[in-house]
């Protein structure tokens, strides 16, 4: 309905052929025969170097100007829709991956927190055991010193001064009159 000769205004239904000049003007077969394009377009005065017949066999870069705009729009919308859907699917995949990664990191953080708490608990237990061990070593040294002091007192108090350990044992085994108190019973 819009296709017409830009020179005589003939419409497409009444005209078998139309031509398209590189200047952008359209002419019917009669106006083309009257040299409206040669050597310059009589409408715009541009040099016309190429004239194409408007039909199904014309070049694609010229054909696009004569396609149904509604069909072009529909195809373009479908193309945009497919592109948007493709990008959205990929964005959803990325989002799902990121969500899964966040859940994984949160689980690892929980495990790490629990592991840190266990490490702190074990460190406190180790420190307590080291302190207990130090206390027990000190008590053991005190007991050993006390035994040594007790043995010296017994030796000094019973006249067994300057005896060797073996002689002391013999003297304590053979002497029935000397009774030493049992300190560790």
Output 5 or 183, whichever has higher pLDDT: 5
Last residue of a domain, one of 66, 91, 109: 66
Distance of CA 70 to the CA centre of its chain: 44
Q: What integer pLDDT is reported at residue 181 of this predicted model? A: 54
Say if residues 81 and 74 touch (Cβ distance below 8 Å): no
Domain count for the chain, please give it. 2
- Give the integer Cα–Cα distance in Å for 157 and 144: 20
Domain check: are 62 and 76 in the same one? Answer: no
Tell me, yes or no, whether 56 and 77 share the same domain: no
The CB density around residue 27, as the number of other CB atoms within 10 Å, is 29
78 and 147 within one domain: yes
Task: Please check whether residues 135 and 110 belong to one and the same domain.
Answer: yes
Asked if the model's pLDDT at residue 155 lies above 90, the reply is no
For residues 89 and 151, state if they share a domain.
yes
70-106 pLDDT, tens digit each: 998 999 999 999 999 999 999 999 999 999 999 999 9
Q: Supply the mean pLDDT for the chain.
A: 85
Q: 99 and 31, same structural domain?
A: no
Q: Indicate whether 162 belongs to any domain.
A: no
Q: How confident is the model at residue 175 (pLDDT cuts 50, 70, 90)?
A: very low
Residues 20 and 73 in one domain: no
* d(C-alpha 155, C-alpha 170), whole Å: 13
Task: Give the separation between CA 31 and CA 35, rounded to whole angstroms.
Answer: 7
The percentage of the chain sitting over the pLDDT mark of 70, rounded to a whole number, equals 84
Helix (H) or strand (E) holding 138: helix 69-157
Residues 73 and 146 in one domain: yes
């Amino acid at each position: 309905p819009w296709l017409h000769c830009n020179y005589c205004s003939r419409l497409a239904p009444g005209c078998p052929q139309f031509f398209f000049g590189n200047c952008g003007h359209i002419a019917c077969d009669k106006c083309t025969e009257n040299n409206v394009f040669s050597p310059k377009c009589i409408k715009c005065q541009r040099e016309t170097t190429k004239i194409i017949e408007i039909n199904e066999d014309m070049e694609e870069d010229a054909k696009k100007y004569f396609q149904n705009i509604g069909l072009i729009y529909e195809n373009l919308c479908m193309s945009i829709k497919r592109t948007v859907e493709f990008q959205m699917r990929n964005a959803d995949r990325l989002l799902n991956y990121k969500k899964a990664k966040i859940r994984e990191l949160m689980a690892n953080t929980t495990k790490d927190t629990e592991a840190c708490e266990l490490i702190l608990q074990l460190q406190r237990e180790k420190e307590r055991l080291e302190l207990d061990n130090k206390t027990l070593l000190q008590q053991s040294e005190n007991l050993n010193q006390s035994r040594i002091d007790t043995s010296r007192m017994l030796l000094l108090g019973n006249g067994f001064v300057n005896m060797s350990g073996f002689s002391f044992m013999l003297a304590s085994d053979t002497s029935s009159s000397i009774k030493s108190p049992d300190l560790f019973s």
